[in-house]
Amino acid sequence: QKSSSNGNTSKQVKSTNGSSAEKKYQVPPEIIEQKKMLPVYTAREALLKNFRENSSVIIISETGTGKTTQIPQYLYEDGYTQGGMTIAVTQPRRVAAVSIAKRVSQEMGVELGEKVGYTVRFDDKSSQLTRLKYLTDGMLVREAMIDPMLSKYSVIMLDEAHERTLNTDVLFGLLKSVQNKRKNLVKSNPNGKHKELKIIVMSATLDAELFSKYFNNAPVLYIEGRQFPVQIFYTEEVQKDYVDAALVTVLQIHLNTNKEDRSDEEQHGGDILVFLTGRDEIENLEKLLLERIVRFPSGVKKLLVCPIFSALPQEQQMKVFEKAPAGCRKVILATNIAETSLTINGIRHVVDTGVVKSKIYHSTIGIDSLSVIPISKASAKQRSGRAGREYDGKCYRLYTEDIFNRLEESSIAEIKRSNIANVILQLKTIGIDDVLSFDFLERPPIQTVKKSLELLYCLEALDDKGKLTEVGKKMSMFPLDPMYSKTLIKSVEFECLEEVLIIISMLSVESIFFIPKDKAKEVENIKNIFFSPEGDHITLLNVFREYQKVNGSPQWCYDHFINIKSMVKILNIFEQLVKYCMQSKMEMVSCQSDYERIRKCFITGFFLNVAVLQPDKKYKTMADNKEIQIHPSSFLFNVNPQYILFNELTITSKAFARNILPIEPMWLPEVCPKYYGRSPTVQDKSAQQSIKETTEAFKSN
């Protein structure tokens, strides 16, 4: 008997005859019951009626009402996939798309990848059979580049619209225009192949007016959720180290629950949810907690630590949804993913650090960085709400009430705080050449548009008239940021495509080495085996090549403290990128060990990310004299080359550059004359004129 890959343990009810037949499973009765208990269930008929009567609908409700998992199923039952049409549900985060698709496939008793599937970058579990498709907003934008009418979809649901990610914002504009075009096509030819497109926008916050107005005053439906009272606690003083404060708070909650609380929790559960900013912090707190847990006196309830972040392998991601075994309490360490995207049952305590990792655009240089910044009041409220979904709960804010009062009301939409070069490139590929005529839900700042156009011009993706070049067209084929896709395309000329493919694959996975407790020294020694003074990229390349030499031996990985799951993922990404290169007919060339080619090639994409050493061992960026430092995780942390190129900037207490390549200053004008020609700005007069005209027109539009 074949075991099913969707983790469905119930027995298969209809056996397959032939490989193309769809598998079906019996849905466990408790899941059928759970579905009926969700608040959205009582709104089912009203929702369907509204969907039939309106081409666009806005839905507002608390997290955990059942929007994301149930409404697509209702639409399916109501016939929206007849004639082979598909329903798409977009998610800002890949973890959410994957885990929700998995859950819905179980609820419907089908094999994941058949009737219910998902598509996220570098991971596609959908097929011809897929009728309910969960996908990241970015992947739907990519689909629109291939099929601008999105003709296979009958309904597109923009979920988590309140997050206002860049891609969701782009989809607003694209879908509105597709909806109009398809409406007109149906009008002129009612029996043609096109059908009308229904758009459903779902949001967890109340400010729906913007969405409704945008879609010609579409109706706004409120679904009442269940929300129990949540008691809020603040710290008396400002916390210096919020990870440490979170550790103390979790232990206090776990060890101090008084008798009354205890019997209440025996009955209703009492799991803890901690909000942190990213993988490093989560793993750090996990380690600290595990150290404490082994020293718990006997008689203390067990504490089960469940991390969740996007780089975590899928099986472990699903663990957060499993009920804690009897006599055991779960503590979930999560990123913002648990704020509104995922609903985890059983939470009674929320620990809110008050911070989030967010993309920040530095419009003077024109690059993005990841920064840890304070959350908004709206976020703080969402986070505390997670403690009161099933019973009353408690939220521990690790900041003072005064700090809370001074938080922004709501977060700034990504389009207003990030580089939009990729958006411009995608719009131009879709055929929307005139970016300023694009019907944005909210417009990006003028300075951002200008800088992004400049970047694309320097990357040679746009010509001096602002038209997409051949390079630009090629770049848009890859599911990568423009700086990476440019580097990749140029690597054919620099005769190092194979190496650049490997390096980009390695860079797309967060951590390759795992560092067991008390083994830091050994890990350092091992890392030195791979070390190359020619840069982190080359060091990573060495790791990959050794890994290939030993045929991915698990023992070798283990001996070298290399995360085998990361390596498998990297290999998979590498193979997918190779396919894209073959589609673009790029010649697979290797530079063997002539690494200078690689270092030069990266300048073609990352010419803005260059910094020069200062006497105090810090660096200043060439573009705007900003002070940065090499991140301790870099192999060149103590080497301090004179000129460096970096791939990533993370700003916490300091600005840290990650993934470092030493370069030579004379390479800059040679490799990137457009930027490093005579003066360090855009050189070409006609290009300058074209960018100026575009931005002027944008301003007056």
- Binding residues for ligand ADP, rule: CB under 6 A, are 38, 61, 63-70, 99-100, 102-103, 321, 343, 345
Residue closer to ligand ADP (CB basis): 323 or 465? 323
Given the complex with ligand ADP, which of 37 and 294 has the nearer CB atom? 37
Cβ-count burial of 162 within 10 angstroms (0-12 exposed, 13-18 middle, 19+ buried)? buried
The option from Mg ion, ligand ADP, none interacting with 609 (CB < 5 to 8 A, set by class) reads none
Binding site for Mg ion (CB under 5 A): 67-68
362 binds, among ligand ADP, Mg ion, none (CB under 5 to 8 A by kind): none
- The Cα–Cα gap between 138 and 140 comes to 5
Minimum CB distance to ligand ADP, residue 94 (Å) = 14
- Min dist. Cβ of residue 92 to Mg ion (A): 11
Q: Minimum Å distance from CB 341 to ligand ADP? A: 8
Nearer to ligand ADP, 64 or 472 (CB): 64
Minimal distance, residue 321 CB to ligand ADP, in Å: 4
Left if phi > 0, otherwise alpha if psi is -120 to 50, otherwise beta: which for 401? alpha
Nearer to ligand ADP, 10 or 217 (CB): 10
Nearer to Mg ion, 204 or 687 (CB): 204
Which residue type sits at 263?
S
Shortest distance in whole angstroms from residue 523 CB to Mg ion: 39
Q: Tell me how far, at minimum, the Cβ of 109 lies from Mg ion, in Å.
A: 21
Phi/psi for 14 (5° steps) reads: -115, 120
Tell me which of ligand ADP, Mg ion, none is bound by residue 659, counting a contact when its beta carbon lies within the kind-specific cut-off of 5 to 8 angstroms.
none
Instruction: Select from 331, 348, 343, 344 the least CA-distant residue to 267.
Output: 348
Question: Within 13 A of 146's CA, how many CA atoms are on the CB side?
Answer: 8
Residue type, 73: Q
Report the alpha-carbon distance of residue 36 to residue 266 in Å, rounded. 25
Give the three-class secondary structure for 627: strand
By C-beta, is 99 or 371 nearer to ligand ADP?
99
Least distance to ligand ADP from the beta carbon of 90, Å? 13
Could you tell which of ligand ADP, Mg ion, none binds residue 661, using a CB distance below 5 to 8 A set by kind? Answer: none
Phi, psi of 234 (to 5 degrees): -115, 160
Q: Which of 316, 276, 226 is nearest to 41 (CA)?
A: 226
Decide whether 74 or 361 has the Cβ nearer to ligand ADP: 74
DSSP, residue by residue, 295-323? TPPTTSPEEEEEEE-TTS-HHHHHHTTSP
69 contact, one of ligand ADP, Mg ion, none, CB 5-8 Å limit per kind? ligand ADP
E strand or H helix at 349: strand 347-352
CB of 162 to Mg ion, least distance (A): 11
Tokens 């070390």 appear where?
531
Nearer Cβ to ligand ADP (385/605): 385
Q: Max CA-CA distance within the chain?
A: 76
Task: Tell me which of ligand ADP, Mg ion, none is bound by residue 394, counting a contact when its beta carbon lies within the kind-specific cut-off of 5 to 8 angstroms.
Answer: none
CB under 5 to 8 A by kind: which of ligand ADP, Mg ion, none does 126 bind?
none
Q: Which does 243 bind (CB under 5 to 8 A by kind): ligand ADP, Mg ion, none?
A: none
Residue nearest Mg ion by beta-carbon distance: 68
- List CB contacts of 519: < 8 A, sequence separation 6 or more: 561
Q: Locate all alpha helices (DSSP H) within 552-680, ordered by sequence.
A: 554-559, 564-583, 596-606, 667-671, 673-676
| Shortest distance (Å) from residue 74 CB to Mg ion | 14
For residue 418, the minimal CB distance to Mg ion (Å) is 23
- Which partner in Mg ion, ligand ADP, none is near 556 (CB below 5 to 8 A by kind)? none
- How many angstroms separate the Cα of 206 from the Cα of each of 43, 61, 202, 332? 18, 8, 11, 27
CB of 343 to ligand ADP, least distance (A): 4
Closest CA to 331 of 388, 269, 268: 269
When CB distances are held under 5 to 8 angstroms depending on the partner's kind, the choice from ligand ADP, Mg ion, none that residue 66 binds is: ligand ADP
Nearer to Mg ion, 200 or 243 (CB): 200
Q: How far, in Å, CA of 83 to CA of 152, rounded?
A: 10
Q: How far is the CB of 137 from ligand ADP (least distance, A)?
A: 15
CB proximity list for 98: less than 8 A, separation 6 or greater? 118, 120, 123, 125, 134, 314, 317
- Minimum CB separation of residue 524 from ligand ADP in Å reads 39
Strands 347-352 and 271-275: parallel
Nearer to ligand ADP, 239 or 382 (CB): 382
Q: Are 498 and 540 contacting, i.e. CB atoms less than 8 angstroms apart?
A: no
What are the structure tokens assigned to 470, written together?
């051949």
Per-residue 3-state assignment (H helix, E strand, C coil) for 182-217: HHHHHHHCCCCCCCCCEEEEEECCCCCHHHHHHCCC
Residue 100 partner contact from ligand ADP, Mg ion, none using kind-dependent CB cut-offs of 5 to 8 Å = ligand ADP
CB of 69 or CB of 419, closer to ligand ADP? 69
Which of 318/578 has CB closer to ligand ADP?
318
3-state secondary structure of 157: strand
Contact 601, 490 (CB under 8 A): yes
Q: How far is the CB of 621 from Mg ion (least distance, A)?
A: 40
Closest CA to 605 of 493, 683, 512: 493
Binds 320: which of ligand ADP, Mg ion, none (CB < 5-8 Å by kind)? none
**β-pairing verdict for 627-630 and 655-662:** parallel
For 624, which DSSP code? T
Q: Of Mg ion, ligand ADP, none, which one does residue 4 interact with (CB within 5 to 8 Å by kind)?
A: none
Q: Which is nearer to ligand ADP, 69 or 566 (CB)?
A: 69
**178/221 with CB nearer Mg ion:** 221
